Amino acid sequence: MPQLQHNHLSICYKTFGKRDHPCLIFISGLNGQLINWPCEMMQNLADRGLYIIIFDNRDVGLSTYYDHLPSPTIAEALTIKQQGNDFDPPYTLQDMASDVITLLDGLKIKQAHVAGISMGGIISQILALNYPERILSLICIATTSGDAHLPAAKPEVLKFFFLPREPEENVDVYVDHMMHLYHVYHHPTHINEQAARRMYMQSYQRAHHPEGFKRQLLALLSAKPRGRQLKKIRIPSLIIHGDYDPVFPVEHGYHLAECLPNSRLEIIENLGHGLPEPVYEKFIEHICKHMNKT
């Protein structure tokens, strides 16, 4: 896969479609690799006249790792936050948003539509706020404004991310951990054990870097609420949220729609936190409808 080099940053990316078509760049969530985006869905969107970009965020996949940066532990960061204070992450989501602009610059793309899932949805919002001249429209999938009054993630999710667990010393341990989270994330009607195991094995074999995951999590934990700022965003926005989401319960989707003045909200029944195959067609339909109106 191609790599974009800029100073000390290397970004691994993949494209679908023709460069002269409108560009839609997808931003992954926490620890998500570009191979986790369904190629079938990306190619389908490209076949409908879009230039699609997917990429590895910093600290994941085949992009640059930031092992040299000083970093608090997750426990230290949580303690500082619980005391009502800010901690210093190794980098911020603003830095990760800047990486997206670096990639677009390197590919000589002046403006793009941006879609992000979960943490990637937050990065998308930051892009729309910090680089309004570059972002044509916004697609927020299973994400949040980060406002404090919104309901917390389900206890099973918090336990997975914040409690110590067995070191992931081999692919079997990693896949077992991720399959546990997979069952928490998805409605029983959307479970595909075989496909999920295959995806997690591929992710591990391509690039497994737990320290990068921790640094991304610290960046996410350090993010400020954005609800009030989002009201300034005037570009067309699409919000796709599931009514079964255990990470950002559906209230987050409704609130995001209230914050973004020029937005359309699509709630998908039984959708949890992710992109399971049974909803591919709905996603494509909603995204194409949004793109046709921008």
Tens place of pLDDT per residue across the chain (294 aa): 899 999 999 999 999 999 999 999 999 999 999 999 999 999 999 999 999 999 999 999 999 999 999 999 999 999 999 999 999 999 999 999 999 999 999 999 999 999 999 999 999 999 999 999 999 999 999 999 999 999 999 999 999 998 877 777 799 999 999 999 999 999 999 999 999 999 999 999 999 999 999 999 999 999 999 999 999 999 999 999 999 999 999 999 999 999 999 999 999 999 999 999 999 999 999 999 999 988
Residue 163, pLDDT score: 83
Distance (Å, rounded) from C-alpha 135 to C-alpha 137?
A: 6
Which residues does residue 52 pair with via DSSP β-bridges, in sequence order? 16, 24
State the burial class of residue 160 (Cβ atoms within 10 Å of its Cβ: 0-12, 13-18, 19+): middle
Q: Are 141 and 125 in contact (CB under 8 A)?
A: no
Distance (Å, rounded) from C-alpha 128 to C-alpha 133?
A: 8
Distance (Å, rounded) from C-alpha 62 to C-alpha 207?
A: 7
Strands (E), 68-185: 112-117, 135-141
Q: Are 10 and 3 in contact (CB under 8 A)?
A: yes
Structure-block tokens of residue 7: 């100073």
Determine the structural domain holding residue 153 and report its residue range.
3-293
Q: Are 263 and 158 in contact (CB under 8 A)?
A: no
pTM for the full predicted model = 0.97
SS3 6: strand
Task: Count how many domains the chain has.
Answer: 1
Distance (Å, rounded) from C-alpha 24 to C-alpha 22?
A: 7
Give residue for tokens 């497994």: 208
Structure-block tokens of residue 112: 């793009």
For the CA atoms of the chain, what is the radius of gyration?
18
Q: What is the CATH number of the domain that holds 166?
A: 3.40.50.1820
Residue 144, pLDDT score: 99
| DSSP-derived secondary structure letter, 48 | T
